[in-house]
A and B are shown apart, each in its own frame.
Chain A
Amino acid sequence: MLALDDVQFELQAGEVHVLLGENGAGKSTLVKILSGAHARSAGEILLEGVTVDLNTPRQAQALGISIIYQELNLIPQLSAAANIFLGREPQKMAGILHHYKMIQDAQAILDQLRTGVDAQSRVQDLSVGQQQMVEVAKALSLHARILIMDEPTSALTEQEIKELFTLIRRLKTQGVAIIYISHRLEELYEIGDRVTILRDGKYIATHRLTEIDKSKLIRLMVDRDLGDHFPKVRVQTGEEALRVERVSRRPVLEDISFSLHRGEVVGLAGLLGSGRTELARVLFGADRADEGSIYIHGEKVKLKNPADAIHKQVAYLSEDRKSQGLVLNLPVLDNICLSSLDRFSRLGWVSLKQEAEAATDYIDKLRIRTPHLRQQVRYLSGGNQQKVVISKWLCSQARILIFDEPTRGIDVGAKVEIYQLINQLAADGAAILMISSDLQEILGMSDRILVMCRGRIAAAFSAAEATQENILQFALGENQRAHA
């Protein structure tokens, strides 16, 4: 099978060229070829009109091509300056570092980018947005003429995104060409000049973003009309599934109370670090609450560990699927069944047949694209990986599902599938708590919305009351209001 077939792509100096496509469309493969990590089997690459050899990452670097990956490649314990000059440290003489010069040079680059980052601060003390700035500075210190950014905004706050865009515009004026990969369509119109669409490893089209509208773009990507972005279906809410009373885990959670009903999707909004994930972990038994009570289906429960929570039919789809959701080197089958082996086994003995049947069932239902059951999950695309995690929880027969950033880093087509799945679950009477940084997603999918700020629930809205503005207001802590 070809990962990439006869793709043409042209990049001009000083432009932001967006690369768009569903998961598995071939974006990453193209990026890997351009970065020298993957060899191409045919075709050629021209830089400033000259055919170039591009077979190793080192060659790519020498040609001025730099990549900023979604997962940043920095060493957290080292300073920003040390990271920028890693492997190319200025030296006084062989082996002796010229520490002062390194910091000075690094600071000069960071200042030139107007990042406000201190070159001497350790990377782990910087925010994700600032870390990204350090990556950009590193690329520039390598005299990058082509900068490839893979989902640069997925972990950034609104403010940080603004700063990043300012930075990108400044780079454009310096003649740097940028290949920009993102699934957030709104963003593309804000920052991109042109867009190239790939689908199933094939080149589809290139357009100026000023000449193409969103729905056309989506149509080109998925080759079908999506209609509404958020196919929200409202269902009659049933009895109470989960009730949380005055739960605290200081200093991250303070006096949390709310309830969740069957058939209901409750959106949990808030900035990063507002305590959303911490709350989810407490509800899942991964962390303990200092005080307060949790009731599941009206029964007071003590959740000592995730196994207890799963036993009570609670599921937690974590925000970081690679490190917390999946065992990457295990097959799809094993991952789907990991939480429910008890169901498929007797006296510790697993019935491979039952297990395979169940897994096949979920692969069909959720349309997970995998060559076979035994494929290691690491080779699946992000959207398909996420579907595997969801299958795991469906397989464990969870009725209360906590989704933490369920669509992060997932392409539009797969996003809609996940939304449809959430609808379906709610219609089947499951209770869903959906944590998201994407306000449109929160507004589009939720029956009710809770807003967290500094470890507390700052506000609760019905779907009708909520707007982007009032959610943001409470999330930023600019207003206080008793919740319903």
Chain B
Amino acid sequence: MRMHSLWQQHGRQLGTLIGLLGLSAVLWILTPHFMTISNWLNITQQTAINAIIAVGMTFVIISAGIDLSVGSILALSGVVMAGALKADVPLSLALLFGLAAGFFCGCMNGVLISRGKLPPFIATLGMMSVARGVVLIITDGRPISGFAPSFRVFANAEFLAIPIPVWIMALVYLIAHLVLTRTKLGRYTYAMGGNEEATVLSGVHVRFHKTMIYGISGLLSGLAAVLLTARLNSAQPIAGMMYELDAIAATVIGGTSLLGGEGRIAGTLIGALIMGVLRNGLNLLGVSSFVQQTVIGAVIIVAVLLDMAMKKRRI
């Protein structure tokens, strides 16, 4: 009975986890370079950026929305931060500027959607273009590079032998999980995605909470920008292009329904890791990037097909 309800509540996530473990097992057999500590640190570090963006995407998708602007917001945050660092603004303040820029753009999305009643697809499509345009205007299309070692901590440093980006990712997931399961905002995210009208009629301030959800997505894009900028030691105006698709893919592989109202943060982490492991494994095996793209696309489709098949069986 206990086992049964465990499966009922987390079945989709367990399924994805089994997929990840199976994939890892296959790669373990195929290449000796895969199952090593250094390679897993490598994978988790590579996954961190997409995984963090995907957290915001998960919130947005559970609320029955979509955020196409994450990549552009990432570029904007990165450039704001890099510009501030170059202008000798103290590190903490520069970080704050970058994160604030992300949060602000996200909130703009939220306001357009909740007050302006724009469909999320349209609002964030617009923001994607606007933010990218602003970045190119600010930078004249040129990257801003070369930062003090204090900033590079976000890429290079380790704590307890684990790289800082991985710690940050873990922390983001822990907080996001708690927010989603233990706070009003989290509860309302599910409620809005499940039935917005009923949620409004239950007295929930839907506009505010929706704005916050998109704000969080923007904020996390800003956080991803910190990691990316530190990693490349450069803030590129073209950074983050198409990152929205990777984030959506991780979320969907992780079992979040695009229809809203359903999904778990742990699933998204597994989804992001599946993508990371696939890329890493196919690199190790020397498979061409064309095949990689095909495989990742197939995994997305299969994951969602399985999800639907399982749902049908449960009813």
Direct contact of A and B (CB under 8 A): yes
Chain A interfacial positions (CB closer than 8 Å to B): 284, 286, 305-307, 309-311, 316, 318, 323-330, 334, 337-339, 341-342, 345, 348-350, 352, 372, 374, 392, 396
Cβ of B313 within 8 Å of any chain A Cβ, yes or no, is no
Whether A327 pairs with B190 at a CB distance below 8 angstroms is yes
Q: Which residues of A contact B204 (CB under 8 A)?
A: 307, 338-339
Closest to A393 in B: B202
Q: Are B205 and A350 in contact (CB under 8 A)?
A: no
B199 an interface residue at 8 Å Cβ cutoff?
yes
Which residues on A sit within 8 Å (CB–CB) of B185? 348
| A264 CB to nearest chain B CB (Å) | 24
| B33 CB contacts on chain A under 8 angstroms | none
B 202-226 to A, binary, CB cutoff 8 A, 1 in contact else 0: 1111000000000000000000000
Bound-state Cα–Cα, A305 to B208, Å: 13
B195 near A323 with CB under 8 A, answer yes
Which residue from B188, B199, B203 sits with its C-beta under 8 Å from A309? B203
Please name the 6 residue pairs, one residue from A and one from B, whose CB atoms are nearest each other, closest first: A310-B203, A327-B194, A307-B203, A327-B195, A338-B202, A339-B202
Task: Tell me whether B198 and A325 are in contact (CB under 8 A).
Answer: yes
Chain B residues 115 to 132 lying within 8 A of chain A, measured CB to CB, are: none
CA distance A352 to B178 in the complex (A): 12
Contact of A328 among B188, B195, B202, B203 (CB under 8 A): B195
Contact between chains at B184 and A326 (CB < 8 Å): no
Check A324–B203 contact: CB distance below 8 A. Answer: no
Counting chain A CB atoms within 10 Å of each CB, the highest count among B183, B201, B205 belongs to B201
Query: In the complex the two chains form, what is the Cα distance from A345 to B183 in whole Å?
Result: 8
Chain B residues whose CB sits within 8 angstroms of the CB of A316 once the complex forms: 201
A372 to B185, CA, bound (A): 24
Does residue B187 face the partner (Cβ distance < 8 Å to A)?
yes
| Shortest Cβ gap from A340 to chain B (Å) | 9
CB distance from B9 to the nearest CB of A (A): 7
Query: In whole Å, how far is B275's beta carbon from the nearest beta carbon of chain A?
Result: 27
CB-defined contacts of A392 to chain B, threshold 8 Å: 202
**What string of 1s and 0s marks CB contacts (under 8 Å) between B14-35 and chain A?**
0000000000000000000000
| B171 contacts A by Cβ under 8 Å | no
Q: How far does the Cβ of A88 sit from chain B's closest Cβ, in whole Å?
A: 26
A306 touches B183 (CB 8 A): no
Most chain A CB atoms below 10 A, which of B185, B188, B190, B194: B194
**Are B199 and A338 in contact, CB atoms less than 8 angstroms apart?**
yes
Contact partners of A349 in chain B: CB under 8 A: 182-183
Closest to A315 in B: B203
Q: For the complex, would chain B's binding face be called helix, strand, loop or mixed by DSSP majority?
A: helix
Complex Cα spacing A329 to B189, Å: 13
Q: How far is the CB of B307 from chain A (nearest CB, A)?
A: 14
When distances are taken between beta carbons in the complex, the residues of chain A under 8 Å from B255 are none
Count: A-B pairs, CB below 8 Å: 78
Task: Give how many B residues have a beta carbon under 8 Å from the other chain's beta carbons.
Answer: 23
Cα of A306 to Cα of B204 in the assembled complex, Å: 8
Asked if B202 and A306 make an inter-chain contact with CB atoms under 8 angstroms apart, the answer reads: yes
- Measured between beta carbons, the chain A residues less than 8 angstroms from B184 are 341-342, 345, 348, 350
Taking a contact as CB atoms under 8 Å apart, the answer to whether A323 and B262 are in contact is: no
User: Known contacts A345-B183, A348-B184; is A324 also within 8 Å of B194 by CB?
Assistant: no
B197 at the interface (CB under 8 A from A): yes
Say whether A284 contacts B201, CB under 8 Å.
Answer: yes
Residue B267 interfacial (CB < 8 Å): no
Query: Nearest A residue to B196 by beta-carbon distance?
Result: A327
The contact of B187 among A306, A307, A323, A334, by CB within 8 Å, is A334
Residue from B190, B195, B205, B261 with most neighbouring chain A CB atoms (10 Å): B195
Q: How far is the CB of B188 from chain A (nearest CB, A)?
A: 8
Query: In whole Å, how far is B43's beta carbon from the nearest beta carbon of chain A?
Result: 34
Interface centre among B5, B191, B200, B203, by most chain A C-beta atoms within 10 angstroms, is B203
**Contact of A286 with B201 at beta-carbon distance under 8 Å, contacts A327-B261, A350-B182 already known:** yes
Known A-B contacts: A328-B195, A348-B185. Give 5 more (CB < 8 A): A307-B204, A307-B205, A330-B261, A338-B199, A372-B5
- Identify the closest chain A residue to B259 (Cβ): A329
Write out the residue numbers on chain B whose beta carbons fall within 8 Å of the beta carbon of A374.
5, 9
* Interchain CB contact under 8 A, A334 and B191: yes
Give, as a whole number of angstroms, the nearest-CB distance from A268 to chain B. Answer: 18
* Minimum C-beta distance from A318 to chain B (A): 6
- Contact residues in B for A330 (Cβ distance below 8 Å): 190-191, 194, 261
What residue in chain B is nearest A379 (Cβ atoms)?
A: B315
How far in angstroms is the closest Cβ of chain B from A11? 27
Nearest CB on A from B232, distance (A): 36
Q: Is the CB of A326 within 8 A of B203?
A: no
Interchain CA distance A370-B200 in the complex, whole Å: 25
B273 CB, nearest partner CB in chain A, Å: 26
**CB neighbours of B188 from chain A (8 A):** 341
- Give the complex CA separation of A75 and B202 in angstroms: 29
A307–B205 CA distance with the chains assembled, in angstroms: 7
Min Cβ gap A351→B in Å is 9
24 A-B contacts (beta carbon < 8 Å): A305-B203, A306-B202, A307-B204, A307-B205, A318-B201, A323-B197, A324-B201, A326-B198, A327-B191, A328-B195, A329-B194, A329-B262, A330-B194, A330-B261, A334-B187, A337-B187, A339-B203, A341-B187, A341-B188, A345-B183, A349-B183, A350-B182, A350-B183, A372-B5
Residues on B with beta carbons closer than 8 Å to the beta carbon of A306: 200-203
With a CB–CB cut-off of 8 A, which chain A residues contact B182? 349-350, 352
> Within 8 Å CB of B202, what residues of A?
306, 310, 338-339, 392
Among residues of A, the one whose C-beta sits closest to the C-beta of B182 is: A350
